[in-house]
Amino acid sequence: MARYTGPKYKLCRREGINLFGNEKFNKGKKTYGPGQHGPKNVFAKPSEYARQLREKQKLKRLFGVSEKQMRNYYDEASKKKEITGNALLKILEARLDNVIYKSGLASTRPQARQIVNHGHISVNGVRVNIPSYQIKVGDKFQVIEKIKKSPLYSELDKQKFAPAKWLKVDLKNCNGEVTRALEVQDLEQAVQTSLVVEYYSK
């Protein structure tokens, strides 16, 4: 993904949710989008295309993927037999960086992506530095041995964090396993994927 270097809170205001996980990006007093016309258009009814675009942008920014990746993920999801929106979310949820975030080894998705990029994670004993790597049921992941003593991981087991139900995680030893396939109730609920599918299906 092309690195975004602008103000992150601006994106959170635009999409109406905390995209980056950090508490400082929680929605504040300004309940309208950024820009000089924001307050004037609070009650303006968006077009159907605008709603579809906003949901697509929200999903893309939430998981930190590029437009090309999103298009490829949609094309892959559309070939599956299940509901396309659910299939799309399952592909995004199975990204290695998202799995690291959902396991509690990282506090935000951007941090999880950086951890993977820097080669801190191995999957089934093989070092992986590709955030988009697709994790499967039965895969085991862990922080590589020589990095476990880093301050980044030494206090993980003292944090109050509940890993995703489809993961079995040992934060003390910085490892985990994908124990079952993702179900509908496990998927991200902040995005209306039906609008994303409508956007790409035109």
Domain map (residue ranges) of the chain:
1-44, 55-94+187-202, 97-181
Predicted local distance difference test score (pLDDT) of residue 74: 96
pLDDT value at residue 1: 44
**pLDDT tens for residues 99-109?**
999 999 998 88
What was the pLDDT predicted at 177? 96
pTM: 0.81
Q: What is the 3-state secondary structure (H, E, C) of the chain?
A: CCCCCCCHHHHHHHHCCCCCCCHHHCCCCCCCCCCCCCHHHCCCCCCHHHHHHHHHHHHHHHHCCCHHHHHHHHHHHHCCCCCHHHHHHHHHHCEHHHHHHHHCCCCCHHHHHHHHHCCCEEECCEECCCCCCECCCCCEEEECHHHCCCHHHHCHHHCCCCCCCCEEEECCCCEEEECCCCCHHHCCCCCCHHHHHHHHCC
Q: Are 132 and 112 in contact (CB under 8 A)?
A: no
pLDDT at 191: 87
Please compute the mean of the pLDDT values over residues 18-24 and round it to a whole number.
Answer: 58
Please report which confidence band the pLDDT of residue 196 belongs to, taking 50, 70 and 90 as the band edges.
very high
Out of 29-38, 66-75, 161-170, 187-196, the most confident range is 66-75
Residue-wise pLDDT tens digits, 44-90 = 687 899 889 989 988 998 898 999 999 999 999 999 999 999 999 99
CB 31 within 8 A of CB 38: no
Domain 55-94+187-202 matching CATH 1.10.1050.10: the answer reads yes
The second-level CATH assignment, the architecture, of 97-181 is Roll (3.10)
Sign of CA dihedral 191, 59, 13, 101: positive
Task: Please tell me the predicted confidence (pLDDT) of residue 45.
Answer: 80
Q: Which residue has the higher pLDDT, 189 or 92?
A: 92
Q: What is the pLDDT of residue 152?
A: 86
- The terminus-to-terminus CA distance of the chain in angstroms comes to 24
pLDDT, mean over the chain = 84
pLDDT score at 162: 82
Kindly tell me if the per-residue pLDDT of 157 is higher than 50.
yes
Residue 107: per-residue pLDDT: 86
